[in-house]
């Protein structure tokens, strides 16, 4: 059974809505076998997909084709992610956590007066 790629991406929970999946396929962020495809392209078992979403990139192989949205635990059984893809995503996550943890934090939340001063500074463009 062949399923449209936008429908498969939505049903396996890569995208929240089918129209969002269609938009990303149209913009070239989803490729099958390294080639840009249209949203109506059929996905078959064994196809290798490259999905770019934000700063993350998934490289997956299709194991099952489904056309109905299912739970997250079931949707994971429909594809297999390559070990390189998993490692690359984990590296990005750890880097972003390190950047976030090293950012300076104020000792307390700003009070009303301080908040107004911050808003004035932001509006001026300093």
The Cα–Cα gap between 101 and 68 comes to 40
What's the pLDDT tens digit per position in 40-63?
999 999 999 999 998 999 999 999
What pTM value is reported for the model? Answer: 0.77
E strand segments, 23-113:
30-32, 35-36, 42-43, 48-53, 56-62, 79-81
* CATH number, position 32: 3.10.290.10
59 lies in which domain range? 1-88
What's the pLDDT tens digit per position in 19-30?
999 999 999 999
Tell me, yes or no, whether 110 lies in a domain: no
Tell me, yes or no, whether 42 lies in a domain: yes
């Amino acid at each position: 059974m062949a399923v449209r790629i936008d429908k498969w991406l939505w049903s396996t929970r890569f995208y929240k809505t089918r129209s969002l999946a269609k938009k990303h396929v149209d913009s070239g962020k989803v490729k099958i076998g390294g080639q840009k495809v249209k949203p109506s392209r059929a996905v078959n078992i064994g196809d290798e997909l490259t999905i770019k979403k934000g700063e993350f990139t998934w490289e997956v192989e299709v194991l099952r084709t489904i056309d109905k949205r299912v739970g997250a635990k079931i949707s994971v059984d429909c594809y297999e992610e390559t070990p390189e893809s998993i490692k690359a995503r984990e590296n990005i996550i750890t880097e972003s956590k390190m950047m976030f943890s090293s950012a300076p934090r104020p000792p307390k939340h700003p009070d009303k007066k301080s908040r107004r001063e911050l808003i004035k500074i932001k509006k001026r463009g300093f």
